[in-house]
Amino acid sequence: MDIEHLNKSQIVLLTLLISFVTSIATGIVTVSLMDQAPPVVAQTVNRVIERTIQTVASSTPARSQPAATVVTQEKTVVVKDSDLISQAVAKIEPSIVHIYNTAQDDAVFLSVGFVFDSTGTIVTDSGPLDGRSEAVVSLADGSRVRVFVVRQDADNGIAFLQAATSTDTKAIAWTPVHIASDRAVLGGSLVAISGKTSTRIAPGVITALIPAGAGYIIDTNISSDAILPGSPVINTDGAVVGVSTTASRTSSTQGFIPGAVLLPPSLKPVQ
């Protein structure tokens, strides 16, 4: 068929066909490039661009009105790092506890910990416990409860504590953290959770992955002064990426044991 002999309707249809094929090709190329891009790049793109689809439908009967009109609008939404950090901290804060040697008013602070599961298992640095079999934790709501050491991971310097199911006045509703199952990535944004009496934060990035034993230590540029024993470090989704323990601080004062060591073998990332 000679294109010069096409009428107006045929030219319009041909143009629509070319546009349709071009759109499909563009979509395929875009998806392929996104699949090949590093996770950090893909995550950034997803956070910066938000696609909003608004459907405007006529409320009058279909017989008297044309088909509903679909209007697609694209808008760019810039998500600030400060907003992501505040949301991440708010997500994990109910799971943060502070561990003391006794329940007395003059109790000595030992470490920071976090709720690992819904039964009241708490994870912290085993170093400050110094062989203790029990301690006291201060919960996010200010109440205190006794905990007992049930297991220790000597290689990673992690202690697992089991708390009582209730305080003197009420049952405890535990809020467990989410553990990041992905391998840490250089340049990834992190926030260390600290504070001896209340929650304090210190943002930073992953600067190195230091080989250690069968795994690695997550090194950061977070000031060592802002890191306490047992301090978890989270990503901007609020998931625990690492834990500060005696073992990690032996390799680097700004280092953390990967949180993935807490996961069952089937969920651990490939080293």
**Model pLDDT for residues 190-248, shown as the tens digit of each residue:** 999 999 888 899 999 999 999 988 789 999 999 999 999 999 999 999 999 999 999 99
- Residue 57: the pLDDT is 45
Whether 93-163 and 84-92+178-267 are alike in CATH topology: the answer is yes
Q: Are 206 and 184 in contact (CB under 8 A)?
A: yes
Q: Which two tokens stand for residue 201?
A: 């934060």
- Mean pLDDT, the chain, integer: 82
| 84-92+178-267: CATH, from 3.40.50.12500, 2.30.30.90, 3.50.50.60, 2.40.10.10 | 2.40.10.10
Boundaries of every domain in the chain: 3-79, 84-92+178-267, 93-163
17-31: b (≥16 Cβ within 10 Å) or e: eeeeeeeeeeeeeee
First to last CA, the chain: 60
Band (pLDDT 50/70/90 cuts) for residue 67 is low
Instruction: Look at strands 200-212 and 215-220 and give their pairing.
Output: antiparallel
Beta partners for residue 160, in sequence order: 123, 151
Tens of pLDDT, residues 174-203: 999 999 988 889 999 999 999 988 889 999
Superfamily for 93-163? Trypsin-like serine proteases (2.40.10.10)
